[in-house]
Amino acid sequence: MNFQRTIGKEATISGISLHLGSESCLTFRPAPPGSGVVFMRTDLLDSPRISANIANAVGGVIRRTSIGDKGVIMHTIEHVMAALAGLRIDNVIIEANAPEPPAVDGSALPFVEVLKDAGIVDQDVPRQGLRLTETLSVSDGDKELIIIPDGSFRVTYAFKLDSPVSLTQLVSLEIDEDSFAGQIAPARTFCFQHEVEALKAQGLGKGGSSDNVVVVDNDGKPDHPPRLEDEMARHKILDLLGDLYLLGSIPDGQIMGIRSGHDLNARLIQKIAESHQKNRRMINAATIKPLDTNQIKRILPHRYPFLLVDRVIELEEGKMAVGIKNVTINEEFFQGHFPQRPIMPGMLQVEALAQLAGILISWSRKDDASLGLFRTVEKAKFRRSVVPGDQLRLEVRILRKRSKVAKFSGQVFVGAEIVTEAEFTIAL
């Protein structure tokens, strides 16, 4: 089995951050299955958390990848994310005492080393892969990224510069844990001499130094001996891996890139996410025949006006389920929420997820008449309003289960868009 992974113990790394120039310390802590990568800003009141995923990606920043949630930002996370991607660490909490990680030596290698020292631990929950079914591409002038479905993960990258000097580097590598640690992670951040003043004028590079940035002169000569052949192209692959990991998984496929950077990376991962969600809806790998409302009523005790699952279209016993809720203007709650602007309450969407979870639990406990009740609701996010005419696709997955308690993650989609998500615990 391809299981999710976390680290075995706490690990810490510190130094000066690259762009903000602040003293920065990261503490990596183990996290349970299904948690994902979460940054915790310990320098702020109540230590707010930011999940490192595509939904929290911040646009409009230059030369770095940033995430944010409710106004709380974490900048320049790509090297940390690349280390986690390369080591296939799925779940970790990263406590940060500054809004940007330490630059250390400008590569991902120091992060790889501290994470390996902490130990990498398999968890008892399978990893959910990201399967592509079509070739996807994005471009901007002479910059391009293409991903082709394939059974392995290979990146071919062409770094090409025309001015102030003609320079080309080409790297093609099948990436696994060993090849990443040895041939990608050591590649350092670089910039060209003519870019230094422009970066400073934009308020960036305040922590940049010969310790963490390779500066290339106008003749194409770096001020440090290269660690690896074609180091600049390899560092571009490093950044790409870090950005891809905002998907929560590295897709199987061959990626080809020319001159691309963070902006184009962000466009590609958005396209991958949209394609993945579309294909999940088109390719229905159901393990049961769909359950209609009458069959659902034989499983759930809920009745009008509180039965919020119309159909179950996919169910994998002990693991996950997918259901449908059709939202119509005849819903009773629209009489008061709100008469002039009908909106489905967010907590009723969470209730619909919980009812689907109840079906999933009951499917494997056919002779058990226990009633499932909410115990906790966590990490609930309501991303847009649900209105009459929407069809909700409900998806729930078991994170962990004991005899009388089960914890779930759930998402509500309208089309390919996530509108609501939450984690919740049900007690029997």
pLDDT in tens, 202-258: 888 899 999 999 999 888 889 999 999 999 999 999 999 999 999 999 888 999 999
1.10.10.60, 3.40.1180.10, 3.30.830.10, 3.30.230.20: CATH of 3-125: 3.30.230.20
Length reported for the chain = 428
Q: What percent of the chain has pLDDT over 90?
A: 70
Active site residues: 262, 337
pLDDT value of position 205: 87
For the chain, the domains span 3-125, 136-279, 293-427
pLDDT, mean of residues 50-79 = 92
pLDDT, mean of residues 253-270 = 94
pLDDT value of position 165: 79
Residues in CB range of 353: below 8 A, 6 or more apart:
394, 396, 408, 410, 411, 412, 420, 422, 424
pLDDT value of position 281: 52
Q: Where are the beta strands (DSSP E) in 307-362?
A: 311-316, 320-326
Fold of 293-427: Thiol Ester Dehydrase; Chain A (3.10.129)
The pTM is what? 0.69
Of 62-71, 170-179, 275-284, 310-319, minimum mean pLDDT range: 275-284
pLDDT value of position 368: 62
* Residues 369-388: tens digit of each pLDDT: 678 899 999 999 998 889 99
Q: Where are the beta strands (DSSP E) in 175-238?
A: 190-192, 214-216
Residue 367 pLDDT more than 60? Answer: no
Q: Is there a shared CATH topology between the 136-279 domain and the 293-427 domain?
A: no
Q: Please state whether 376 falls in left (phi above 0), alpha (psi between -120 and 50) or beta.
A: beta
pLDDT, mean of residues 140-163 = 92
pLDDT value of position 297: 92
Q: How far apart are CA 105 and CA 335, in angstroms?
A: 60
Fold of 136-279: lpxc deacetylase, domain 1 (3.30.1700)
